[in-house]
Amino acid sequence: MPYLEQVLWEVERLHPPVGGSFRGVVKEFEFNGFHIPAGWQVLYSIVVTHRLEEIYPEPERFDPDRFSPQRQEHKQYPFSLIGFGGGPRVCIGIAFAKMEMKIVAAHLLRSYHWEILPNQSLDTVRLPINHPKDGLRVRFQPR
């Protein structure tokens, strides 16, 4: 299921479950000419990071092959795929969540024909968590 994993990574990149988070600044630093003192809170944006063109060419295009062994765009820079966080604060359930997604997706793909129902907006609403504006109504029929 390597290609399914690539598809799930691309879904995570384009539609992360949360848009970002805050972190406390432990040590002062400079960023783009701005001084950031220790003690401040900074916001990092998962959505913006996942759409940086210098990391992901054509960032708005759905392209699972960007995670193929030949391209591995997510490994060019540290923390460039952070839908589950990163470093010491990475989601403790990441392995379980990814295995669960693969099992459910494989079952739905093998066992059902499915169709996204018409007359619904799939535009992304980002708060409180990313979700389609009208939900996601789908018709499943056994194969």
pLDDT per position as a tens digit, 67-89: 999 999 999 999 999 999 888 88
- On whether residue 14 sits in a domain, the answer given is yes
pLDDT tens, residue by residue, 6-62: 999 999 999 998 888 899 999 999 999 999 999 999 999 999 999 999 999 999 999
Q: What is the rounded radius of gyration, in angstroms, for the C-alpha atoms of the chain?
A: 18
Q: Which among 79, 70, 85 is positioned nearest to 3, based on CA atoms?
A: 70
Q: Which domain holds residue 49?
A: 2-112
pTM (2 d.p.): 0.86
Are the C-beta atoms of residues 49 and 31 closer than 8 Å to each other? no
Give the helix/strand (H/E) hosting 32. Answer: none
- On whether residue 83 sits in a domain, the answer given is yes
- On whether residue 70 sits in a domain, the answer given is yes
- On whether residue 131 sits in a domain, the answer given is no
- On whether residue 99 sits in a domain, the answer given is yes
Number of domains in the chain: 1
Angle at 54 between CA 50 and CA 56, to 5 degrees: 45
